[in-house]
Structure 1
Amino acid sequence: MTDAAGTHQRFTEYYGHAPVGVWSAPGRVNLIGEHTDYNDGFVFPFAIAERTWVALGDRHDRVVRVATSFAPDAVEIHLDDLAPHAVDGWAAYPLGVTWALGRFGADLAHVRGVDLYITSDVPVGAGLSSSAALESAVALALDEHWGLGLDRPTLAKVGQLAENEVVGAPTGILDQSATLLSEPDAAVFLDCRSLDAEVIPLRFAAEGLTLVVIDTKVEHAHATGGYAARRASCEAGATALGVPALRDLRVEDLDRAQAVLDDETFRRVRHVVTEDRRVLDTVRTLREHGPGAIGSLLDASHASMRDDFEITVPEIDLAVETARAAGAIGARMTGGGFGGSAIALVADDRVDEVTSAVRAAFAEHGFGAPVIFTEQPSAGARRDA
C-alpha cells in the first residue's frame, strides 16, 4: 500500500526499526506556462493527488542510506563524500537534495546521517514531475529533521539545484515550486524571476469541470538532448536580442525578433513570449470569468508547443485533437515534452465520452493504450506522520 502508513511499515521492515517521521510531496500538472520557467517567466501549475512518500530514520554515524520500493538495492554514501558526480541513477535525486542543502546553508559537517525509504504512486516518465515530488519530499524531511529552518521557496531552489547539478537535467523551478507551494482547489501563479507566488482558486468542481489527464505512456527524460537544446535556443535568442531573459520581451517585440533571428530560434522565442502572455491571460480570465473560459488559451498553448517549440509527439497531438473533438473545453500537452501527458478540461458529463474517444483513437492509429485518469488540484508537500 502506497501511503504514509505503508511507507512507515516498509521502512520498519527494511531497516529493522521505526522511522522518526514520514513526509510526502505530490506530482503536479502544469495548467499552462511551458518552458517559461528557465526564461524567468510565468507558470501556473497545481499539485495532483498522487504523491511520493519518504520515511526518515536517524543514524549515529554520518552515512546517508536510501532505499526504495522501486529498486532492489539500497545506496549509501558518507556525508563527506557527497558531490555532484558521486551518485547516479535514481539515488541521484534524494542524495542530490542532501548535497544541495549544503549549498543553501546546511552544515553537513555537523549533522548525523539518516536512513530513508521512498515509495511513490506518481507515474514516472508521464510529465507529472515524479522527480520533483521525490526531491521536495526529501528536502522537507531533511529540513525538519536537521532543524535547518529553510522556507519553501528556498527548498524549491534546493530541488532545482539537485536536478541541475547532480541529475544533470537543465530544468527550471516550476516543478519544485508546484509540489511545495500548492493548495487544494487552486494553482500556483509563480513569477520565476522574483519567485513571488500567489495561490489562485481554480473552482473546477464548483463549475462542474474535471481535469482529465491522458498519459500517453511515451516516456521522456529531461536529462536527454531535446530539452537542453530548447533551453540553449532560448538563451541564444535572449543574447541576440540584448535582453537578460526572454521574460523581458513582449509580444510587440516579436517583429523585431523575427528580423534578427534565424527561423528556428525565432519560433522558439515566439513560443516563450506568447506563452508568458497566455499565463497572464489565464490568471486574469479565471478571476474575471471562471475556469470555463480558459479553453482557448489551453488550445493556443498546445499549438505553440507543437508548431513553434516542436516538443510534442504524435500520440500527444492525437490525444489533444481527439479530446477537443469529443467536447473538451480545451486541451494541451503538459510538462517538458517529447512524450508524457496531455490534459483536457472537460465538463463533468462529458468525461466518459472524451475518455472513450481518446482510447478508440489510439487503437485506430496503432498506438499503445493510454492511461487516462481525472485529477482535482490537491495539497502540496507536508509531514504525514
Structure 2
Amino acid sequence: MEKLGAVRSAVADGALDGALTGLMCGELDTARRRVAELLDGFQRSFGAGEDTPITLCSAPGRTEICGNHTDHQHGRVLAAAVNLDFLACAALNGTNTIRFQSQGWPMVEVALDTLEPGEEERESTAALVRGMAAQAVEKGYPVAGFDVFATSEVLPGSGLSSSAACEVLLGVVENHLFCRDELDPVTIAQMGQRAENVYFGKPSGLMDQTASSVGGAVAIDFADPAAPVVRRMAVDLNKEGYALCIIDSGASHADLTAEYAAVPQEMGAVAAYFGKKVLREVEEGQVLEAMPQLRKAVGDRAVLRALHFFADDKRVGEEADALDKGDFAAFLSLVNESGRSSWELLQDITPAGAVREQAMAVALAVAERALEGKGACRVHGGGFAGTIQAFVPLDRLARFRERVEQTLGAGSCHVLSIRPVGGTVLWG
C-alpha cells in the first residue's frame, strides 16, 4: 500500500487520472477533487498521518435492464454497472475492530470477537460489515481491524442498489488487505448476497452484487447460483444515439419489505405446487396446463407473477442477443415489453391497496408520454417505489428531461453512463 501523502501527490500530479477515467466518472478535475476530499475525510475521521499506508477502492451502483425479479428464482438477468459509485479510502488499524465511516452518516464500529449474525444489527450497515468479514474468515483469510472512510454517489433508495455497492466495496477492500486479491468478482458478489440475506435480513437475489462486482453490461444466468454464468457485452449507448436515464418517482422504499418479500414467496409457491423449489425448475407449459387447479391453490397473483418470470427470463437472452448483433431497435422493443410485463403480470408498480399515491405509475406514464413513441421505459429494480429507467434519444434528451422534471421535480431525472469497470482497487 502507498502512504497517504504519496497518494495525495499522485492525485495532484495526475497519476491517478487513468484509473479515474476508466470509471466514467465525469470531469477529471471533479474526480480529482473528490479523491482529495476523501483523503481529507479519512484523516479527520481516524486521525491518520501522511505516512499511513492506505488503499483506494471503488464499487459501482447497478442498473437492471431486464429480468425483473427473476434472479431469486434462479433465472436470467441483464444488468450493467453505472458511473455512480462508493469510493473508499481504507487502512489497517492494528485492532480487532472494523470502523466504517460513510460520509454524512454515524460511524459504524464492528468488533470481530464474534462473526455470527446479531438480531440487534439486522437491517443496519453493521450487519453488512460483519457479514462480509465473516465470510472472508470462513474462506481462511486472516481478517483484522481496519478503517474505511467512504463517500457515495449511489443514494439509498435510488434503485441503483447502494447496499450491493457497499457490500462489493467491503469485499474489494478485504480482498486487497487480507486475501491477496485472490477472490474473483463473482465470489465477492456471492459474499455480498449472503451478507444481505443472512446478516442484514433482506431476501434478495444475486443480480445486484454481480453487476456491481463484475462491471460493464452483463447477462447473468443463475441456474446454479453457486456458479452463475456471466456473459459480458460491449454497449456504447452514445454510439447508438441514446442516453440512459434513471428517474426518481419520489416514493420511498420504507415499510415495503413485505411487498418485496411477497414476490419470491408467491413465485416459490407456484414452484412448490410442482414439487420444485424455484420456477427455473418448472416448465411454463406445466403452469398453463394446471392453471385452473393452480389458481385455487396459490391464488391468481402468484400465477400471474410466475407467467412474468417465464416471459422476462426468456427476454434476457433476446435482449443480450440484440445488443450483440447491434440491433438496438429490437433491444428497445424488448425493454418496453419487459416494462409492460412488470406492470401487468408481476404487479410491482403500486403497493397493494394504494389508491391516492401511485408514484411509480405516474412516473412511467409521464416518461412514456415524454418519449413520444421513441426509446423505451420500464420499472427499475425491485419496484413499488424508487426509480424507473428510460432509454432516451440524445436529440430528445433535453426536452425529455424538462418534461419529466416538470411533473416529478427538479433533479429527478439522472443521466448516467454504463461503467466498464466493476469493484476495483484504484491505488495501493
Residue matched to 1:365: none
- Write the mapping of 1:95-110 to structure 2, written as runs, cut at 5 A: 95-103=130-138, 105-107=139-141, 110=142
Residues 169 and 208 of structure 1: CA distance in aligned 2, closer, same or farther (over 3 Å): same
Deviates more, 1:152-161 or 1:62-71: 62-71
Q: Is 2:38 the counterpart of 1:7?
A: yes
Contact 2:203 2:261 in 1 (8 A): yes
Residue matched to 1:296: 333
Amino acid at match of 2:229: D
Residue matched to 2:56: 22
Match for 2:417 among 366, 376, 379? 376
For residues 315 and 64 of structure 2, what CA distance do their matches in structure 1 show? 13
Q: Which SS does the other structure have where 1:71 is aligned?
A: coil
CA shift at 1:45, angstroms? 0.6
Match for 1:190 among 220, 242, 253? 220
Q: Deviations over 1:324-373 (max 9, x none)?
A: 222241110111112111111111101122222222344xxxxx666111
Q: Is 2:171 the counterpart of 1:139?
A: yes
Residue matched to 1:44: 78
CA shift at 1:212, angstroms? 1.4
Contact 2:133 2:143 in 1 (8 A): no
Please provide the CA RMSD for this pair.
2.1
Residue matched to 2:128: 93
Match for 1:335 among 381, 393, 398? 381
For residues 74 and 114 of structure 2, what CA distance do their matches in structure 1 show? 33
Q: Which SS does the other structure have where 1:35 is aligned?
A: coil
Q: Deviations over 1:121-169 (max 9, x none)?
A: 1121011101111110110110110025211111101000000011111
Match for 1:350 among 382, 396, 405? 396
Q: Deviations over 1:248-283 (max 9, x none)?
A: 344444412423422121011111111101111111
Contact 1:122 1:128 in 2 (8 A): yes
CA shift at 1:320, angstroms? 2.1
Deviates more, 1:192-201 or 1:150-159: 192-201
For residues 128 and 53 of structure 2, what CA distance do their matches in structure 1 show? 20
For residues 279 and 40 of structure 1, what CA distance do their matches in structure 2 show? 13
Q: Deviations over 1:3-27 (max 9, x none)?
A: 4332222111211114511111000
For residues 245 and 149 of structure 2, what CA distance do their matches in structure 1 show? 31
Q: Deviations over 1:151-200 (max 9, x none)?
A: 111110100000001111100100000001113xxx11101123010111
Q: Deviations over 1:48-99 (max 9, x none)?
A: 1110022211122212222221213x23232122321163423322232222
For residues 84 and 170 of structure 2, what CA distance do their matches in structure 1 show? 16
Q: Is 2:252 the counterpart of 1:219?
A: yes
Contact 1:167 1:223 in 2 (8 A): no
For residues 180 and 323 of structure 1, what CA distance do their matches in structure 2 show? 30
For residues 398 and 366 of structure 2, what CA distance do their matches in structure 1 show? 13
Residue matched to 2:12: none
Amino acid at match of 1:309: L
Residue matched to 2:92: 58
Contact 1:202 1:291 in 2 (8 A): no
Deviates more, 1:368-377 or 1:191-200: 368-377
Q: Is 2:360 the counterpart of 1:316?
A: yes
Contact 1:8 1:22 in 2 (8 A): no
Contact 1:216 1:370 in 2 (8 A): no
Residue matched to 1:153: 186
Residues matched between the structures, number: 373
Contact 1:312 1:339 in 2 (8 A): yes
- Unmatched tracts of structure 1, length 5 or more: 363-367
For residues 294 and 277 of structure 1, what CA distance do their matches in structure 2 show? 13
TM-score (norm 1): 0.91
Larger Rg: 2
For residues 90 and 277 of structure 1, what CA distance do their matches in structure 2 show? 35
Q: Which SS does the other structure have where 1:284 is aligned?
A: helix
For residues 297 and 256 of structure 1, what CA distance do their matches in structure 2 show? 26
Residues 95 and 301 of structure 1: CA distance in aligned 2, closer, same or farther (over 3 Å): same
Contact 1:7 1:22 in 2 (8 A): no
For residues 132 and 233 of structure 2, what CA distance do their matches in structure 1 show? 29
TM-score (norm 2): 0.82
Residue matched to 2:116: 83
Contact 2:110 2:126 in 1 (8 A): no
